Amino acid sequence: MESFNQLLLSLDGFLGSAWWFPYVLLGVGVFFTIFLGFPQVRYFGHAIKIVRGKYDKPGDPGDTSHFQALSTALSGTVGTGNIGGVGLAIFLGGPAALFWMWVTAFLGMTTKFVEVTLSHKYRIKAADGYYAGGPMFYMERRLNMKWLAVLFAIATVICSFGTGSLPQVNNIAQAMYDTFGLNKALTGGVLAILLGMVIIGGITRIAKVTSTIVPVMALLYVIGALAVILYNYDNIIPSFVAVFRDAFNGSAAAGGFLGASFAYAFNRGVNRGLFSNEAGQGSAPIAHAAARADEPVSEGMVSLLEPFIDTLIICTLTGLVILSSGVWTEKHFNRFERADMVALAGQYTDENSEDVQKLFKFLSNGESEVEPFNGSVVVADGRALNEGEFTLINARSVAEDVEFRVGDDTFSGVLTVTDGRFVNENVEVWGNSLVHSVALTNIAFQRGFFGDYGSLIVTLGILLFAFSTAIAWSYYGDRSMIYLFGPRAVMPYRLVYVIAFFWAAIEDTTVIWNLSAVAIVIMTLPNLFGISILAKEMKDTVKDYWKDPSHK
């Protein structure tokens, strides 16, 4: 599994974490925002009226209402990215990462408006009797690029696992284990059965379930977040100051946090912003293609509300909870994930400024004199006897009070370390270090009016957010399977989807996130290429929409 994780990291280095990807994603958003005259601002009020049904007409073609389509798409975007993803972004890039998530969301409102409009325009009625749409249809029917459409559809199927299924249940299982001590396999098994019961019913059942879950989960989460933010009210303004102060400079070392450069914070903020709101990824158009509407632009306007709700509201609340509570710079007792852990030769401390600089360069993949440790670690009653020969880094921080265990018992013996990695896989490592993703958000929610009960809100939020995301992404995947292989491929796909959902409940969290990062980019690039080619058609389509007096 460690080898597979390293492969994913290498691929991500050429894709989502590469220097050019954020510029491509934001560049398309900037272009369409200017080219279409800031539609995310001008059409915002009109979009709300459409969702409320003001412009609905009897007999409009489609399978779901505007609100149901919005709820389905939101359920696909509002998930672990809003809870665990924000925690990961701040852990990696500091407060500055939240700023770049905001920028990604604002520009993403326009990108989503464009991709949904064009996809809805070229949707079809599939052989199973339901409407099917998405970027693959405009790529084939308008661009005459069947090869690009097939590439996108394949990437969507892969991404339905990498974004929709695997990371969602992984975070649910982790949250249920941390809060209630529930076995991860049990959690995965029960939810896999429930997932199968929902997705068998297709888009009509999916729309009914998601339109019920989304409002409930959003209200619950907002209440919980405000309970922490208002409890730490004196840190609200300093948190905002840190976000804007560090946006173009990067975040300095603070507490256990060893710092982040501007480039790193920018990249992580944009990357996590995309994972959260999926603007430009091409997923939401598949859900909106089912909406009852005879005007593609109207459904496009509905979709621009998604990044606003998903990132500018929910992700901001999560970010303020983490920053105002101060937990992002604190070390917490936890079990170290092997993919997060590395042993370094020599002794380093985060209380020494020179050591901090050396470790910062090492973690930033820059030139550094720091080298991985190779050798043996002698352990007695769980404690390393030669700890002065190495420094253990976990979750990008210097680990403290490290203890080695086998199950519930302390370990005694000799551990082999090669290139900084422990070879003995049966030995667990525990200690104090920074934490990230859901674990970080979970701790932050306990620093409010609800105290320890705040973790229940995170657990329920993860359960509802992530489960609804898995539901929505199953639909994206089966529409892609219909495009590729026809209706007969849907049921086998759903079966594999449910099995993978169970499997991911017990896998390493870090590996799941890295798989998601790669899958997202594979899906996004063809879609950004396609909508850019159709820029003039998009502008003409919007002009035609406003020529109808009934739309004003």
What pLDDT, in 10s, does the model give residues 351-387? 999 999 999 989 887 678 899 999 999 999 999 999 8
- Check whether 111 has a pLDDT greater than 90: yes
Residue 439 lies in a domain: no
Residues 283 and 324 in one domain: yes
User: What is d(CA 152, CA 100) in angstroms, rounded to the nearest whole number?
Assistant: 26
What pLDDT, in 10s, does the model give residues 171-214? 788 778 877 888 999 999 999 999 999 888 777 788 788 888 87
- Check whether 509 has a pLDDT greater than 60: no
Residues 169 and 296 in one domain: yes
User: Parallel, antiparallel, or unpaired for β 332-335 and 124-125?
Assistant: unpaired
Residues 129 and 213 in one domain: yes
Residues 307 and 379 in one domain: no
Mean pLDDT of all residues in the chain?
Answer: 89
In the chain, % of residues over pLDDT 70: 98
| CATH, residue 11 | 1.20.1740
What pLDDT, in 10s, does the model give residues 524-536? 899 999 999 999 9
pLDDT at 275: 67
Residue 213 lies in a domain: yes
Residue 53 CB neighbour total at 10 angstroms: 10
- Name which of 14-23, 73-82, 395-404, 429-438 the model is least confident about: 73-82
User: What is d(CA 78, CA 80) in angstroms, rounded to the nearest whole number?
Assistant: 7
User: What is d(CA 167, CA 460) in angstroms, rounded to the nearest whole number?
Assistant: 16
- Check whether 1 has a pLDDT greater than 70: no
The CB-based long-range contact list for 408-417 (8 Å cut-off, 24+ gap) reads: 410/381, 410/382, 411/379, 411/382, 412/379, 412/380, 412/381, 412/382, 413/379, 414/376, 414/377, 414/378, 414/379, 415/376, 415/377, 415/379, 416/376, 417/343, 417/373, 417/374, 417/375, 417/376, 417/377, 417/390
Residues 191 and 245 in one domain: yes
pLDDT at 379: 96
pLDDT at 245: 93
Residue 375 lies in a domain: yes
Q: Which residue has the higher pLDDT, 77 or 541?
A: 541
Residue 145 lies in a domain: yes
- DSSP classification of residue 379: E
What's the total number of domains in the chain? 2
Residues 142 and 187 in one domain: yes
What pLDDT, in 10s, does the model give residues 217-246? 888 899 999 999 999 999 999 999 999 999
Q: Which pLDDT band holds residue 118 (cuts at 50, 70, 90)?
A: very high
Residue 527 φ/ψ, nearest 5 degrees: -70, -45
Q: Which pLDDT band holds residue 62 (cuts at 50, 70, 90)?
A: confident
* Cα torsion angle, 437, 443, 444, 449, sign: positive
In the chain, % of residues over pLDDT 90: 54
Q: Are 192 and 545 in contact (CB under 8 A)?
A: no
- Of the residues 414, 433, 452, which one is the last residue of a structural domain? 433
Residues 283 and 408 in one domain: no
Residue 306 φ/ψ, nearest 5 degrees: -65, -55
Q: Which pLDDT band holds residue 5 (cuts at 50, 70, 90)?
A: confident
What pLDDT, in 10s, does the model give residues 161-172? 887 788 778 878
Residues 418 and 529 in one domain: no
Residue 438 lies in a domain: no
Residues 489 and 529 in one domain: yes
User: What's 391-454 look like in SS3?
Assistant: EEEECCEECEEEEEEECCEECCEEEEEECCEECCCCCEEEEEECCCHHHHHHHHCCCCCCHHHH
Residue 477 lies in a domain: yes
Q: Which residue has the higher pLDDT, 437 or 431?
A: 431
Residues 278 and 346 in one domain: no
In the chain, helix, strand, coil percent, each to 5? 65, 10, 25
Domain that holds residue 278: 2-329+444-551
Residue 39 lies in a domain: yes
- Identify the three-state secondary structure at position 332: strand
pLDDT at 10: 83
The CA distances from residue 67 to 43, 77, 93, 482, in Å, are 17, 15, 35, 25
- In whole angstroms, how large is the CA radius of gyration of the chain? 23
Backbone φ/ψ region at 400: left (φ over 0), alpha (ψ -120 to 50), beta: beta
Residues 533 and 388 in one domain: no
- Of the residues 401, 433, 465, which one is the last residue of a structural domain? 433
pLDDT at 508: 67
- Identify the three-state secondary structure at position 370: coil
What pLDDT, in 10s, does the model give residues 282-340? 998 998 888 888 889 999 999 999 999 988 999 999 999 999 999 999 999 999 988 89
Residues 188 and 290 in one domain: yes
> Hey, what amino acid is at 173?
A
What pLDDT, in 10s, does the model give residues 243-290? 999 999 888 899 999 988 888 888 878 877 776 788 888 998 998 888
- Check whether 434 has a pLDDT greater than 70: yes
- Of the residues 393, 409, 433, which one is the last residue of a structural domain? 433
User: What is d(CA 22, CA 69) in angstroms, rounded to the nearest whole number?
Assistant: 28
Q: Which residue has the higher pLDDT, 412 or 469?
A: 412
- DSSP classification of residue 456: H
pLDDT at 119: 92
**Structure tokens belonging to residue 329:** 């710079």
Residue 450 lies in a domain: yes
